[in-house]
Amino acid sequence: MISGVGAIFLSLPTSRILLQMRSKNVSHPGTWAFWGGKAENDEQPLETLERELEEEMGELPVSHKIYPLHIFESENGFNYKTFVIACYDEFVPILNKESSGYCWVDIGAWPKPLHSGAKLVLYDKSAINKIKTIATNIQKIAA
């Protein structure tokens, strides 16, 4: 089975999420997507997530917590897990050759065109409600 992971960074003060523009050096160029990628060898999902994010963004921001958000399983055995990383503030990511841009966006104000995998998650009402719940609950704790 082929496995992959993706991350949605959620800024706790603004409740906005971070997306990347995929560069011409990767599949699905010119689409807005999550950071992440495929697992190597016997990596566990969170190990894959950490490795991919460090490869694609360099040093990661201090985060509050990582939450599982969505699981996609295709008929041909591909498995993709999306996580929400709640971070203490918006930040400027360091882009590698896989990204040509980034944006912090309000929930529901998605840039276009979206990568098909991102679209699947970002138009899933259950996933969006979970993101909103995470943001609301964390803000209540911080208050």
- The pLDDT value recorded for residue 139 is 66
- The pLDDT value recorded for residue 2 is 65
Domain count, the chain: 1
CATH number, domain with residue 118 = 3.90.79.10
CA-to-CA separations, 25 to 22, 80, 127, in angstroms, rounded:
8, 21, 29
Mean pLDDT of the region 23-44: 93
Give backbone dihedrals phi and psi of 86, rounded to 5 degrees, phi first.
Answer: -80, 120
pLDDT band of 60, cuts 50, 70, 90: confident
Instruction: Give the predicted TM-score (pTM) of the model.
Output: 0.90
- The pLDDT value recorded for residue 61 is 80
The domain of 63 spans 2-142
Residue 49 neighbours by CB under 8 Å, 6+ apart: 5, 7, 36, 66, 83
Mean pLDDT of the region 27-44: 92
Mean pLDDT of the region 2-8: 89
β-bridge partners, 62: none
pLDDT band of 142, cuts 50, 70, 90: low
